[in-house]
A and B are shown apart, each in its own frame.
Chain A
Amino acid sequence: MIMVLTRGATARSTPAVVPHLLAALALAALVGAALCLGEPRLSPAAVLDALRDPTHPQHVAVTQARLPRAVLGALAGLGLAVAGLLMQDALHNQVAGPELLGVSSGAAVVTAAVVVLALPVPLAALPHLALVGALVAGVLVLLAIGGSTRDPDQVVLVGAAVSAACAGLVVAIVGLGTEGNVVVLFRYLLGSLAARGWAHVEVVLPWVVVGVGVAVLLRRRVAALALGDVAATGLGVPVVRTRLTALAVAAALAAAVASVCGPVAYVALLAPHVARRLRGSTSTARVLALTGLVGAVLLVAADLVSRLVLYPVEVPVGVATTLVGVPALVWILARTREAR
């Protein structure tokens, strides 16, 4: 008996450290690379000098452009990944994502309206306005879902319908645009981290901290939802309240990210799947931390690629995540079918 217990305990804890460590190292390496690469290219030593020395010629480039951009990428990736995990497990749907909550569409509608209709809004206020649009859309979707939280498939259908309506609204607004401002808008609609600074980090940070904190509190209850609503009730988990809270947290996380970066596709979808494979577990509680790390790694890596691949032209990061995300989605769907 003691033998069994010991073996069980070690089988649980030892391998858990490895993927977390790998992901953390990868994130550190990518952030380091993001600080070094670009124009001009800096050595790691030069980056350290530039960080410390305010008179260094690259001080501003490193501390006011590259660093906040990398930090924003990591925070946004973390937030999106946790939102995706909550959605997938709370709705028992392997391809559910925060786009079903309409938040990125809401942010896009507001941004499109401001840019295309040339509304007199200071540039610094745009992310805050977009955030309001995202949250309003999220609340509307959650209200529309309302009583149907008992039926996860119904949630997915309502979410898809509202997202489609918002997408139509964005297209309608784009149709009013001129050649000049529509190009600017497209950059946003594809999702981008370009020219983001500490002010953008400040918009996202509190939402990610609170959202991820609540996700940590919810993790075991959401894990129980994955067993089906009846089993979860038997375990003493309030099913409807847990599902609604998980969706609200996912909406808040995705809203904050979308308001600043636009709708960055596929990170929320992919990160949980990558984390489950690395961790060898499907339990929400066990993969939560790793999912967040993987999301940060994915987005920082995608942003690095989008900055460098066609340099000096910058590809919106959403294009990079989509190019990786679509084949990965097809692969996930094929595998899910096999598993049935």
Chain B
Amino acid sequence: MTSSLPTPLPPPSTPPSTPGAPVLAADRITVGYRDALVLEALSLAVAAGTATALVGPNGSGKSTLLAALARVLAPRSGAVRLDGTPLRDLPTRAVARRIALLPQTSTAPPGATVRELVEQGRYPQRGPWAMLRRTDDAAMERALERTGVAHLADRRLATLSGGERQRAWIAMALAQETDVLLLDEPTTYLDVRHQLDLLRLVGRLRDEGMTVVMVLHDLNQAARYADRVVALREGRIVADGAPEAVVTPALLRGVFEIDAVVVPDPVSGRPHFVER
């Protein structure tokens, strides 16, 4: 694989996150379900203030890697580190004040309102006791505004379109006011316009200094909206780097088994593939 780049191992202890320093790092993690190992001794360090896209065919382990970064799956060996400290050594609520997660499928009770959903995003700050404070209200309103669902705040989720519901879930994640945001296939159930709205929002959050890691199915979207594209296949990182270095005909053939040409996107200049 011409485009494969070695992934730097994070140093044993990293300083508190400054732009460019790794804020979240998988350190030789082995992850699996029951008998099957999905990832073996995989390492990935994510620099603060960057947007990273995890791409790969179905079953490549990209969602498993995201789940491990989000502590939804505990690694059997190795560690996921937040500013150098293994996640397992941190209280889970403290982690939730640093890392927000948008799950792939949403199961909120259909009778819940958007505001109720977004209010849940304040749990990491409030805990089991505290009433809603002014800071909570402000964070919720900001999240509702950012995602364009403020006018839907009192609507029930069941009455919303798929795009609106997805934005409500992102509002919940933003209400956590974390510096790291993990998104698992955030565009899957959205029509094209809402996909682009969402990716632009992710871009703005990145510009404001947020660290974003997202699993994306659409390689062209990954190339356009991420600073770094990490391609996985069969549980291994097979390519890692800037979109120009990763989205190449060789990678498309080797990883995705498609025969394609790569041309610069006329708007962004990022690589854009077109199948033959």
Q: Which residues of A contact B (CB under 8 A)?
A: 1, 4-5, 8-9, 11-12, 92, 217-221, 223-224, 226-231, 233-238, 276, 281-283, 286, 339-340
Check A235–B120 contact: CB distance below 8 A.
yes
B103 close to A (CB within 8 Å): yes
| With contact pairs A220-B123, A234-B72 given, residues A8 and B153 touching in the complex (Cβ less than 8 Å) | yes
Q: Are B103 and A230 in contact (CB under 8 A)?
A: yes
Q: Are A5 and B92 in contact (CB under 8 A)?
A: no
* A227 with B141: CB separation less than 8 A: no
| B176 with A235: CB separation less than 8 A | yes
Which of A217, A219, A220, A230 is packed against the most chain B CB atoms within 10 Å? A230
Q: Which of B8-16, B109-117, B254-262 contacts A (4 or more CB under 8 A)?
A: B109-117
Specify which chain A residues have a CB less than 8 angstroms from the CB of B128 in the assembled complex. Answer: 217-221
Min CB–CB distance A8 → chain B (angstroms): 7
Across the interface, do A339 and B100 meet the contact criterion of CB distance under 8 Å?
A: no
B9-67, CB < 8 A from A = 67
Quick check: B107 and A228 within 8 Å, CB to CB?
Answer: yes
> Given A8-B153, A230-B103, do A339 and B110 touch, yes or no (CB 8 Å)?
yes
Partner among A227, A238, A340 whose Cβ is within 8 Å of the Cβ of B120: A227
> Which chain A residue shows the least CB distance to B123?
A235
Query: Is there contact, CB below 8 Å, between B103 and A231?
Result: yes
Contact assessment for B137 and A5 in the assembled complex, using a CB-CB cutoff below 8 Å: yes
Interface status of B150 (Cβ within 8 A of chain A): yes
Q: Are B72 and A233 in touch, CB under 8 angstroms?
A: yes
Q: CA–CA, A218 to B123, complex, Å? A: 12
Given the complex of chains A and B, what is the CA–CA distance between A286 and B116 in angstroms? 10
A8 touches which of B67, B71, B124, B137 (Cβ 8 Å): B137
**CB within 8 Å for A224 and B116 given contacts A231-B106, A234-B70:** no
B215 lies within 8 A of chain A by Cβ: no
Cβ-defined contact, B101 with A234, below 8 A: yes
B108 within 8 A of A: yes
Which residues of A have CB within 8 Å of B115? 8, 12
A228 to B172, CA, bound (A): 14
Query: Which B residues are CB-close (under 8 A) to A234?
Result: 70, 72, 96, 99-103, 173, 182
Q: Is the Cβ of A228 less than 8 Å from the Cβ of B123?
A: no
| A237 & B108 in contact (Cβ 8 Å cutoff) | no
B94 adjacent to chain A (CB < 8 Å): yes
Q: Name the distance in Å between A339's Cβ and chain B's nearest Cβ.
A: 5
Closest Cβ–Cβ distance, residue B102 to chain A (whole Å): 8
Find B71's partner among A4, A92, A219, A233 (CB 8 Å cutoff). Answer: A233
Q: How many Å lie between the Cα of A227 and that of B106 in the bound state?
A: 7
Contact residues in B for A228 (Cβ distance below 8 Å): 103, 105-108
Check A237 against B123 for contact (C-beta < 8 Å): yes
* A236 contacts across to B, CB distance below 8 A: 91-97, 123-124
What are 23 residue pairs bridging A and B, where the CB atoms are less than 8 Å apart in the complex?
A1-B141, A8-B153, A92-B109, A220-B123, A220-B126, A220-B127, A224-B123, A227-B107, A228-B106, A228-B108, A230-B72, A231-B172, A233-B72, A234-B100, A234-B102, A234-B182, A235-B123, A235-B124, A235-B176, A236-B123, A237-B92, A237-B123, A283-B112
Chain A neighbourhood of B110, CB < 8 A:
339-340
CB-defined contacts of B94 to chain A, threshold 8 Å? 236
Which residues in A have their C-beta under 8 angstroms from that of B263? none
Tell me if B265 counts as interface (CB < 8 A to partner A): no
Extra A-B contacts (14), CB below 8 Å, given A1-B141, A339-B158: A8-B141, A11-B154, A221-B123, A224-B123, A227-B108, A229-B72, A230-B101, A230-B104, A234-B99, A234-B102, A235-B120, A235-B124, A236-B95, A237-B93
| A135 CB, min distance to chain B CBs, angstroms | 26
Q: What is the CA–CA distance of A238 and B70 in the complex, to the nearest angstrom? A: 13
CA distance A178 to B176 in the complex (A): 64
Which of A221, A233, A276 has the most chain B CB atoms closer than 10 A to its own CB? A233
Q: Kindly report which residue of chain B lies nearest to residue A218, judged by CB atoms.
A: B128
With the chains together, A236 CA to B71 CA distance in Å? 10
Chain B residues in 8 Å Cβ range of A340: 110
User: Of all chain A residues, which has the CB nearest B182?
Assistant: A234
Q: A283 near B116 (CB under 8 angstroms)? A: yes
How many Å from the CB of B101 to the closest CB on chain A?
3
B121 within 8 A of A: yes
Residues 78-94 of B contacting A (Cβ, < 8 Å): 91-94
Q: Which residues of A contact B92 (CB under 8 A)?
A: 233, 236-238
Nearest Cβ on chain A to B162's Cβ, whole angstroms: 14
Give the shortest distance, in Å, between A167 (CB) and chain B (any CB): 31
Give complex CA distance A231, B170 in Å.
Answer: 11
